[in-house]
Amino acid sequence: MDHDTLLDRLTVFARARTSDRDAAVRDLRAMPGHAGFSWGFTVVTRTGDEPLVLRLPPPGVRYVGNADIMRQSRIVAALGGTPVPVAPVRWFGEAEHWFGRPYLIVDFLPGRTLTPADPGIDHALDAPLLERIARETARTLATLHGLDWTHTLPELGPPVSLEEEVQKCDYLLERTADPELVRSAPALKVRLLATLPLNPRAGIVHGDFQWSNLLYRPDGSVVAVIDWELAGIGATLIDLGWLLVFSDLESWAGLGRWSLPLPAPEAISALYEDALGTAVPEVRWYRAFAGYKFGLIAGFNLMLHRRGKRVDPLYEDFVPSISRLLERGLDVIG
């Protein structure tokens, strides 16, 4: 859908939803990101201006998994009544006559994300501020994991087992862009399955909890956690392992290697334990699994990019990191 068509449809939608027949839509622009199709815009009505964000599934796909906007809408709406900060949901629905697809519209929230490998690093992000950001991030993650999923999002259950989480990655491994890049994957999979943590605590798992999926205020506090399309119920420490891999200099190479002086993974893990109020066991396993899964995701997305199915040059930058993530996983798990 081109810019002008979307602008026209949003205008009709806004007038219907606000009951203001003169409502206008301004400042329509594509939002950054790699997982979905998002546009920022402002609705102008007789009562004022409202900045919003529209999310749609990619065109021509089945509405399942991370393309299931309705599922994501229900998750964010349910979390809106909890201490976990999320963008308030304004409207969502399955009626395709508006935008040709199901849709989710949330409030636009001011804030910044962190992209640790960004070459245009903001030098105002000094070590003390990044430590505050890390503390607030760990506290937010512990708050999410402290929710009772059976009360907040029971429809997402039952919990997915760790063995199933590992086995689900076979689909990615079989469709990688270059088998040589993932040559360490089979050995790491064997180690993961041989050392599965027993009786992990189950809860709501964001699925991609890392620095670019949180909005931060200038003082380092968290505005909101965004991008919930991969959320589910499972072992909560999967999220911690993911955050730690995205904080580990030794897991990345080339253009994908971090530039920001983030606290070390061990320090972030300690911040999470403090916020949760209890020690967390077997963190090394979850770090290794996160490296395994993202390495395979990157290899799979690289295949889609090179075949023109989902063009995203970012994954060319990740090429040196694919094998490094898997090798680091083997180092960490021991």
Q: Which CATH class is domain 3-107?
A: alpha beta
> Considering the domain 127-333, what is its CATH architecture?
Alpha-Beta Complex (3.90)
pLDDT (0 to 100) of residue 144: 98
pLDDT (0 to 100) of residue 189: 98
Compute and round to an integer the Cα radius of gyration of the chain: 20
pLDDT (0 to 100) of residue 36: 56
Q: Confidence class of residue 119 from pLDDT cuts 50, 70 and 90?
A: low
Q: How many CB atoms lie within 10 A of CB 101?
A: 20
| CA trace torsion 81, 217, 133, 38 (10° rounding) | 70
Q: Which of 322, 332, 176 is nearest to 254 (CA)?
A: 322
Q: State pLDDT tens for residues 35-47.
A: 558 999 999 999 9
pLDDT, mean of residues 95-123 = 84
The answer to whether residue 34 scores a pLDDT higher than 90 is no
Q: State pLDDT tens for residues 130-167.
A: 999 999 999 999 999 999 999 999 999 999 999 999 99
Q: Which of 28, 40, 56, 171 is nearest to 110 (CA)?
A: 40
Q: State pLDDT tens for residues 284-296.
A: 999 999 999 999 9
- Bond into 158 cis (ω within 30): yes
pLDDT (0 to 100) of residue 58: 80
The answer to whether residue 331 scores a pLDDT higher than 60 is yes
Tell me what percent of the residues of the chain surpass a pLDDT of 90.
83
pLDDT (0 to 100) of residue 127: 86
- Whole-structure pTM value: 0.93
Rounded to an integer, what distance in angstroms lies between the CA atom of residue 175 and that of residue 333? 25
- Cα 28 to Cα 9, 12, 35, distances in angstroms: 12, 14, 19
- The 3-state DSSP class for residue 53 equals strand
> What are 216's strand-pairing partners?
112, 222
Q: Confidence class of residue 60 from pLDDT cuts 50, 70 and 90?
A: confident
The answer to whether residue 72 scores a pLDDT higher than 90 is yes
**Which of 119 and 245 is assigned the larger pLDDT?**
245
Lowest mean pLDDT among 58-67, 283-292, 304-313, 324-333: 58-67
Q: Confidence class of residue 260 from pLDDT cuts 50, 70 and 90?
A: confident
Dig out the tokens for 101 from the structure: 């697809």
The answer to whether residue 117 scores a pLDDT higher than 90 is no
**Which of 321 and 67 is assigned the larger pLDDT?**
321
Tell me what percent of the residues of the chain surpass a pLDDT of 70.
96
| Residue ranges per structural domain of the chain | 3-107, 127-333
